[in-house]
């Protein structure tokens, strides 16, 4: 799934990189030089042109600080994420996120189902399998939910009921596990649950990659169009003055 997403995002990433470079060059170098010619005409420039000139001046004065700030934030985030409390807070925010959180939850659920399928099929006791399953999950809330479910199983609850009580795992996965426990084929049910979760994630990633490319192109095109209009509006204004 990682390779599929990476391949789908290669072209949009290249387009975005080129667009950022072009927009930066237009704002920092091209726009001030072109519009500076019209300022000598002592004619008030359009609002859009003046706004972009102000933005250009601001970026020319602070672009080094922005790069330094981005590097500092990246380093600080890397250091802070090593602290368990901070990492747990960030994971909870991601876990509650509308779109990303759902994908990450389903990804952890798929990892868990695949791991439990292998271990249960190898006749590993369910409590040991659940303990091992904690190690393949990335989100702290999902690990905590699995630990809670493991305590329920230790107290005699069925696995499906214990997982469902946490409200952290997909209902389809819980239903498949419940049917597997009823039929005595838990390993097969876990394997089906893992495939179902992987298929759902693959579909969501495909839709995201499909929508991201045109949305990004439209956004960058709008930005470039705005800059071009800021350059052309003074020309139209001067032509109208000359015509009068």
Higher-confidence position of 54 and 191:
191
With the C-alpha atoms ordered 105, 110, 113, 116, is the resulting torsion angle positive or negative? Answer: negative
What pLDDT, in 10s, does the model give residues 58-83? Answer: 877 887 888 899 899 989 888 877 88
Of all residues in the chain, what percent carry a pLDDT higher than 70? 90
pTM for this predicted structure? 0.70
What pLDDT, in 10s, does the model give residues 217-229? Answer: 888 888 888 888 8
Position 29 scores a pLDDT of 77
Q: Which helix (H) or strand (E) holds 8?
A: helix 2-8
What pLDDT, in 10s, does the model give residues 117-170? Answer: 999 888 889 889 998 888 888 888 999 999 999 999 998 889 899 998 998 898
Calculate the CA dihedral of residues 187, 150, 110, 129 and round it to 10 degrees.
-50
Q: For 164-196, b where at least 16 C-beta lie within 10 A, e where not — what string?
A: bebebbbeebbebbbbbbeeeebbbbbbbbbeb
Domains of the chain from N-terminus onward: 100-202 (1.20.81.30)
Position 68 scores a pLDDT of 92
């Amino acid at each position: 799934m990682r390779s599929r997403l990476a391949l789908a995002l290669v072209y949009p990433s290249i387009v975005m990189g080129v667009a950022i470079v072009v927009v930066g060059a237009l704002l920092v170098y091209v726009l001030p030089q072109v519009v500076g010619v019209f300022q000598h005409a002592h004619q008030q420039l359009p609002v859009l042109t003046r706004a972009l000139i102000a933005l250009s001046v601001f970026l020319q004065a602070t672009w080094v600080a922005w790069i330094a700030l981005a590097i500092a934030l990246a380093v600080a985030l890397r250091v802070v994420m090593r602290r368990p409390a901070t990492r747990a807070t960030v994971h909870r925010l991601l876990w509650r996120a509308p779109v990303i959180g759902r994908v990450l939850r389903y990804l952890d659920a798929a990892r868990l189902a695949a791991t439990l399928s292998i271990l249960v099929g190898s006749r590993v006791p369910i409590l040991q399998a659940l303990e091992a399953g904690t190690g393949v999950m990335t989100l702290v809330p999902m690990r905590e939910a699995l630990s809670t479910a493991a305590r329920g199983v230790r107290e005699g609850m069925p696995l499906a009921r214990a997982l469902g009580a946490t409200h952290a795992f997909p209902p389809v996965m819980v239903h498949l596990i419940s049917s597997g426990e009823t039929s005595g084929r838990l390993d097969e049910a876990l394997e089906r649950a893992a495939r179902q979760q992987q298929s759902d994630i693959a579909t969501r990633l495909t839709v995201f990659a499909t929508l991201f490319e045109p949305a990004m192109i439209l956004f960058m095109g709008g930005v470039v169009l705005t800059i071009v209009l800021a350059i052309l509006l003074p020309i139209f204004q001067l032509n109208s003055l000359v015509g009068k």
